[in-house]
Structure 1
Amino acid sequence: MAAAAWAAWLGWDQHRDVRPDGTTTGPYEAWQVIGLVLTLLAPVYWAASRHHLVGAVLGTTAGLAIAAFCDWSDDASGLFMVGVGLVTVGSLAGTSAASFLISSLTTRGARPNGGT
């Protein structure tokens, strides 16, 4: 799911924009990254609310790491691995925090006092 979301939000934008002063931006815009994060929040919420924390965290992290590796591996400088490492660490931290928060805020099954 995470790799498909990466492809949908970030995979198609492969060029950098050159500003009039000569500086470059990109290749991604902030709205694309925000869209990716919001898209991934739904499956992370689904899994974490069912207390499948390992799947929520590792599935998302692995999918993003693989997608980043495939997307950036044509970089001749070799620095793409730094970016892949940062994506991996960032997604691991972000999905861990979100999953534990979601899991702690959702309950599973009946309430202890009989549901009243």
Structure 2
Amino acid sequence: MRQKSLGLAPCLLFLIPVAAWAAWLGWDQHRDVQPDGSVTGPYEAWQVIGLVLTLLASVYWAASRGRIAEAVFATTAGLTAAVYYDWSDDGSGLFMVGVGMVMMASLVTTFALSTLIASVKR
């Protein structure tokens, strides 16, 4: 039985979410105050959609090649690292709750998508 070499795929699948976070969300750090006094942000819907589509492309690439574990764990690790770095300056300490939520959502979503993509591509 021939074993697949890991190569650069895990590194790329880790770095793509980090770079995508920086490109789509990392630069927007201010919250918007609405005329009624409510606060929104710091991210707009189009930024989050851009991030999701970027990650979807990399997960599709890996899962369609049978690299489900790499797609799931490297993508989740990269996204979690980017979120942790970006949110770690929060003074309330609650950023870890958000980081944990992003990590779990990323893990579940990338697993479901990778499994679906791999099964459809067979």
TM surpasses 0.5? yes
Matched to 1:6, the amino acid is W
Matched to 2:92, the amino acid is S
* Mapped pair 1:9 → 2:24: yes
SS in 2 for 1:21: coil
**CA displacement at 1:102 relative to structure 2:** 0.1
| Matched positions, count | 107
Matched to 2:81, the amino acid is I
In 2, the alpha carbon distance for the partners of 1:43 and 1:76 equals 33
Residue 50 of structure 1 is aligned with which of 60, 65, 75? 65
2:89 corresponds in structure 1 to 74
Residue 95 of structure 1 is aligned with which of 102, 110, 113? 110
Residue 65 of structure 1 is aligned with which of 51, 56, 80? 80
Q: Deviations over 1:36-79 (max 9, x none)?
A: 00011111001101110010001110011000000000001100
The CA RMSD measured in Å over matched residues stands at 0.6
SS in 1 for 2:89: coil
- Identify unmatched segments of 5+ residues in structure 1: 108-116
SS in 2 for 1:33: helix
Misfit runs of 4+, over 3 Å: none
- Identify unmatched segments of 5+ residues in structure 2: 1-15
SS in 1 for 2:106: helix
Matched to 1:14, the amino acid is Q
Q: Deviations over 1:78-112 (max 9, x none)?
A: 000000000000111111111000000002xxxxx
TM-score (norm 1): 0.91
SS in 2 for 1:50: coil
Q: Per residue, is there more helix in 1 or in 2? A: 2
Q: Give the percent of matched residue pairs that are identical in Structure 1 and Structure 2.
A: 69
